[in-house]
Amino acid sequence: MTIRVLAAGDHFVQNRLLIDAIRHAVPTEVDIRELTLPWPVVPFGRVGEVDEASDVEEELIEALRGVEVCVTQMAPLTKRVLDASPDLRLFCVSRGGPVNANLEAAARAGVAVTFAPGRNAVATAEHTLAMLLAATRRIPQTHADLAAGVWRGDYYTYDNVGPELEGNTVGLVGYGAIGRRVARMLEGFGANVLVHDPYVAAPNSVGLPELLERSLFVSLHARATPETAGLIGATEIAAMPKGSVLVNCARGALLDYDALCDALDSGHLFGAAMDVFPEEPIPQGSRLLTTPNLVMTPHLAGASKETAMKAAAIVAADVARYVRGEPLAHVATP
DSSP 252-266: GGGB-HHHHHHHHHH
Cα angle for residues 250, 105, 100 (degrees, 5° grid): 25
Question: How many angstroms separate the CA atoms of 210 and 206, rounded?
Answer: 6
**Which among 26, 55, 59, 25 is positioned nearest to 43, based on CA atoms?**
55
- 127 carries an active-site annotation: no
The active-site residue, picked from 299, 321, 324, 330, is: 299
How far, CA to CA in Å, does 88 sit from each of 129, 137, 158, 196, 252?
Answer: 41, 51, 63, 41, 33
Q: Is 34 a catalytic residue?
A: no
Q: Which one of 251, 268, 324, 326 is the catalytic residue?
A: 251
Does the CA dihedral 116-281-47-305 come out positive or negative?
A: negative
Residue 47 phi, psi (nearest 5): -125, 115
Active-site residue, selected from the candidate residues 126, 268, 280, 287 = 280
- Give the HSE-up count for residue 223: Cα atoms under 13 Å, Cβ half-sphere: 12
Residue 152 neighbours by CB under 8 Å, 6+ apart: 142, 145
What is d(CA 26, CA 28) in angstroms, rounded to the nearest whole number?
6
Residue 299 falls in the annotated catalytic set: yes
Report the catalytic residues: 251, 280, 299
